[in-house]
Amino acid sequence: MNKKIFDMYDELFPGKENLLDKGQNTDEIRNELKELNKVSRELKSLTSVTIDENYFTTLLPRFRELQQKKKYQFSLRKLVFSSSLAFSTVIVLLFTFQFVQTGNSKIEVSPNQVTVNSTATVPEDSYIASADQFSDSIVNDRGVQREIDKSIYQSLAVQTEDNNFVLIKSDNDYDKVLSQLDENELETVYAQLQQTKIL
Amino acid sequence: MPEEFSDYDLVRRFLDGDEASFNKLVRKYQTKIYWHARRMTGNHLDADEIVQEVLLVLYDKLKSFSFQSSLFTWIYRITITRSLNYIKKQKVRRFISFDSQENSGLSTDEDLVKNLEDKEKLKKLNGVLQKLPEKQREIFVLRHFDELSYEEIAQITGKSVGGLKANYFHAFEKVNKLMGSEHE
């Protein structure tokens, strides 16, 4: 194929094919142009097909459906992620509190009191028992509970205009409140939780 | 007679919260997006998946569209990028699953072309186009079937007009030979 003739053809194409026969073209050029035009027309004819228009009329509804599905999946993922993050934050805070408590209790020990530090001889079970005791004491500590509850109540109350906090007594109540919140409210609650210093 | 809005108006209205304007944009460009994707992939199911992807991108990214280029060019850019990415992914998928190209995405029931003769035509066209390398196919489809000017194609693909012309010439030459061999 001659590049120069092709460029000529390409300039005429599309829509000016009727000019192919005109001008000062030699027979050779004219024949090649006709050949190119024939190939082009043949290719075009392969695309003139009858289609089921129903496809294009249902395209938008199908797209909207897909969009809703993706939106739902995204919010679910976001909720799972944010709740797991909030849960880990609470755990970290509890451990921090435990650490602080341990430090404080050491200070409370009377200097006159003789304590034999026999770490090596203390059986392993007693460590576990004492750790459990600490956890229990933190979980049962009314002060800590009050602070955590207060923080959650305040976060949940951000969206309410009056300050009637929702009373949460159990996990079920908590789930119920969460299920009533929409995506934006959940985001606000989560942001508030992150900003609140519990301890 | 329904009121005609420019692309600019439709985008502005959509950004102001009018979802119907987005629907109008989709109706305006859906055929072009579909047929470009179909000629690139060679089958209906893959083309349909690309169309859905393009519409999702369009919906999400329209807010950042700054009208530095025409919406038409921008939509084409999204379509060709998605089509090429899709083809690449399919290649990898096929490589992993040892699936043959002939078996992928072909379903006689789900095609929008129902007529047997028309199906044969598209099969023949597909047989030729799929033998071109993707990038060359892209330029060939944009120039020959979508009938875009070299300047428009240059805007969409970011390539020089000279390079595009050379690429199109080589693609046409190959298609010419392939069409000849189809007749033999």
Best-predicted range by mean pLDDT (A12-16, A41-45, B177-181): A41-45
Give yes or no for A11 touching B (CB within 8 A).
no
Among candidate residues B37, B41, B133, B38, the one with its CA nearest the CA of residue B93:
B41
Scanning B16-159, the segments in alpha helix (DSSP H) are 19-41, 44-61, 71-97, 116-129, 134-140, 150-157
Interface test with A, best of B34, B36, B40, B55 (most A CBs within 10 A): B55
**What pLDDT shows up at residue B152?**
94
Size of interface A-B (CB pairs under 8 A): 77
Q: Which residue has the higher pLDDT, A4 or A124?
A: A4
The yes-or-no verdict on residue A175 having pLDDT over 60 is: yes
Contacts of B179 in chain A (CB under 8 A): 39, 42-43
Q: In chain A, what's the furthest Cα-to-Cα distance?
A: 120
Report the distance separating Cα B55 and Cα B79, nearest Å.
9
What is the DSSP-derived secondary structure letter of residue B65? -
Kindly give, in sequence order, each residue whose CB lies less than 8 Å from that of residue B106, ignoring residues fewer than 6 positions away. Answer: B43, B45
Q: Which long-range contacts (CB under 8 A, 24 or more apart) does B161-164 make?
A: B164/B139
Predicted confidence (pLDDT) per residue in A94-133, tens digit? 878 777 776 665 555 455 554 444 444 445 555 555 555 5
**What pLDDT shows up at residue B157?**
94
Contacts of B144 in chain A (CB under 8 A): 40, 43
Q: Measured between CA atoms, how close is A9 to chain B, in angstroms?
A: 11
- Window 62-101 of A, Cβ < 8 Å to B: 62-63, 66-67, 70
Contacts of B122 in chain A (CB under 8 A): 46-47, 49
Handedness of CA B160, B165, B166, B171 (dihedral sign): positive
What is the DSSP-derived secondary structure letter of residue B102? G
Amino acid sitting at position B180: G
Q: Measured between CA atoms, how close is A72 to chain B, in angstroms?
A: 15
Report the distance separating Cα B19 and Cα A153, nearest Å.
37
> Shortest CB distance from B169 goes to which of A6, A39, A52?
A6
- C-alpha A178: how far from its chain's center? 18
Contacts of A32 in chain B (CB under 8 A): none
Report the distance separating Cα B162 and Cα B167, nearest Å.
9
Torsion of CA A13, A15, A21, A26, to 10 degrees: -10
Interface test with B, best of A63, A71, A74 (most B CBs within 10 A): A63
Say yes or no for a CB contact (<8 Å) between B56 and A7.
Answer: no
Q: Which residue of B has its CA nearest to A6?
A: B169
- Window 52-111 of B, Cβ < 8 Å to A: 52, 55-56, 59
Half-sphere exposure of A166 (CA within 13 A, CB side): 20
Kindly give, in sequence order, each residue whose CB lies less than 8 Å from that of residue B87, ignoring residues fewer than 6 positions away. Answer: B40, B41, B134
Report the distance separating Cα A168 and Cα A188, nearest Å.
18
How many Cβ atoms are within 10 Å of A120's Cβ, its own excluded? 5
**Region A187-196 average pLDDT:** 70
**What pLDDT shows up at residue A129?**
52
Q: What is the pTM of this model?
A: 0.64
Report the distance separating Cα B30 and Cα B51, nearest Å.
8
**What pLDDT shows up at residue A198?**
52
**Region A153-181 average pLDDT:** 61
Kindly give, in sequence order, each residue whose CB lies less than 8 Å from that of residue B38, ignoring residues fewer than 6 positions away. Answer: B44, B47
Predicted confidence (pLDDT) per residue in A49-100, tens digit? 888 888 999 999 999 998 888 877 766 677 776 777 777 888 888 878 777 7
CA–CA–CA angle B150, B156, B161 (5° rounding): 30
Torsion of CA A82, A88, A93, A97, to 10 degrees: 160
**What pLDDT shows up at residue B79?**
96
Among candidate residues B134, B141, B52, B51, the one with its CA nearest the CA of residue B91:
B134
Interface test with A, best of B129, B144, B150, B152 (most A CBs within 10 A): B144
A171: confidence class by pLDDT, cuts 50, 70, 90: low
Report the distance separating Cα A176 and Cα A51, nearest Å.
51
ipTM for this prediction? 0.80
Six-digit token pair at A107? 């200070």
Stretches where chain B sits below pLDDT 70 are 1-3, 96-109, 182-184
Give yes or no for A136 touching B (CB within 8 A).
no
Report the distance separating Cα B40 and Cα B81, nearest Å.
11
